[in-house]
């Protein structure tokens, strides 16, 4: 009996889609550092600010008019849950970043409500990140970041800023909300970069 349990345990831990120290969940936990802001789509906008201060803003209608993609990705929260095969719809950051002249290597995502998180620009381009507004074929629920959130699934999920309202391009890396409280500046789940210094 004990041998069988251990066998099951070992097989589960060996799921190649599961980064080290993570367990699988099929529900969708909500993790928010504060209250859920309720932003109507006609009030929502997304502003890209370059390192020289140039700005480009998209309204909700502008975002909807752009070509969208349907990423199907695994997500990994630093609190140890992973959810495999989540399906989203949104606009690739490649599309949004194509509109601005910038050579900045870093970005800070800003959210309605004040949350921030830093991500290198190289981790937002080449099909690695989206501004998503649908989950599982439905408008993204406010608790999960609706009307729109950042989705950067190859990094721990705290990098996927909910209620995103803009991206600030930066010459130098700066800590966002959780990074300033001791979380890792980069946050690669495959290297277990949970906390500063790991």
Secondary structure in 3-state letters for 100-156: CCCCCCEEEEEECCCCEEEEEHHHCCCCCCEEEEEECCEECCHHHCCCCEEECCCCC
88 binds Mo ion (CB under 5 A): no
Question: CA-to-CA distance for 36 and 30, rounded, in angstroms?
Answer: 10
Measured distance CA(73)–CA(173) in Å, rounded: 26
Residue 30 binds ligand MTE, judged by CB under 6 A? yes
Can you tell me whether residue 170 is helix, strand or coil? strand
73 binds ligand MTE (CB under 6 A): no
Q: Considering only residues 18, 66, 73, 77, which one is a binding residue for ligand MTE as defined by CB under 6 A?
A: 77
Stretch that binds Mo ion, among 6-14, 31-39, 140-148, 160-168 (CB under 5 A): 31-39
Least distance from ligand MTE to the Cβ atom of residue 103, Å: 27
Choosing from 163, 166, 169, 189, the residue that interacts with ligand MTE (CB under 6 A) is 163
Residue 192 phi/psi, 5-degree rounding, is 50, 50
Position 161 contacts ligand MTE (CB under 6 A) = yes
Q: Which of 29, 127, 139, 180 binds ligand MTE (CB under 6 A)?
A: 29
Q: How far is the CB of 92 from ligand MTE (least distance, A)?
A: 19
Nearer Cβ to ligand MTE, position 161 or 167? Answer: 161
24 binds ligand MTE (CB under 6 A): no
158 binds Mo ion (CB under 5 A): yes
Which residues have CB under 8 Å from 133's CB, separation 6+? 63, 89, 90, 139, 140, 146, 147, 148
């Amino acid at each position: 009996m004990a041998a069988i349990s251990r066998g099951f345990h070992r097989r589960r831990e060996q799921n190649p889609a599961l980064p080290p120290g993570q367990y699988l969940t099929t529900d969708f936990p909500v993790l928010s550092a504060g209250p859920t802001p309720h932003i109507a789509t006609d009030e929502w906008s997304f502003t890209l600010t370059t390192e020289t201060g140039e700005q480009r803003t998209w309204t909700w209608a502008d975002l909807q008019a752009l070509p969208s993609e349907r990423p199907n990705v695994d997500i990994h929260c630093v609190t140890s849950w992973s959810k495999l095969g989540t399906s989203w719809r949104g606009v690739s950051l490649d599309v949004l970043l194509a509109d601005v002249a910038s050579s900045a290597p870093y970005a800070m995502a800003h959210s309605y409500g004040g949350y921030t998180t830093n991500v290198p620009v190289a981790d937002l381009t080449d099909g690695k990140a989206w501004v998503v507004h649908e989950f599982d074929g439905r408008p993204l629920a406010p608790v999960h970041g609706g009307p729109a959130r950042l989705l950067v699934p190859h990094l721990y999920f705290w990098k996927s800023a909910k209620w995103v309202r803009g991206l600030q391009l930066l010459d130098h890396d700066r800590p966002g909300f959780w990074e300033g409280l001791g979380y890792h500046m980069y946050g690669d789940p495959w290297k277990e970069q949970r906390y500063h210094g790991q």
